[in-house]
Amino acid sequence: MKRTFSFSPLTVEAARVLGSQIRLARTQRRWTVAELAERVGTSSPTVQKIERGDPTVGLGLALEAAVLTGVTLFSPEPDHRRMEARHIADRLALLPQAVRAPVKIDDEF
């Protein structure tokens, strides 16, 4: 049985913007959908879903399509990306390793 899931409007909008950027970059490179699909390692219908902004497509495939077409995902400077990654790692190191739901204590006798 297929599970239905509703994505937030912001998620849908972000997927559509990324898909449009990928389509624009692919077209500017004069690549067909089939050529991009081969480079990404997926099928043409999946690339079409990515370009339409279908949020059910795997994140890795969408990011790979973006990278291959030259869409900027983060800072284009490798040093800046590494610095940001270290900053996030430092912040994560200060937080607990796991997050647990609060335990409800029944202290009424």
| Domains within the chain, CATH numbers bracketed | 8-96 (1.10.260.40)
Confidence (pLDDT) at 5:
79
Rg (CA), the chain: 20
Q: Mind listing the pLDDT tens digit for each residue in 31-83?
A: 999 999 999 999 999 999 999 999 999 999 999 999 999 999 888 888 998 99
89: tokens are: 């790692």
101 — pLDDT class (breaks 50, 70, 90): confident
In terms of C-beta density within 10 A (0-12 exposed, 13-18 middle, 19 or more buried), how is residue 97 classed?
Answer: exposed
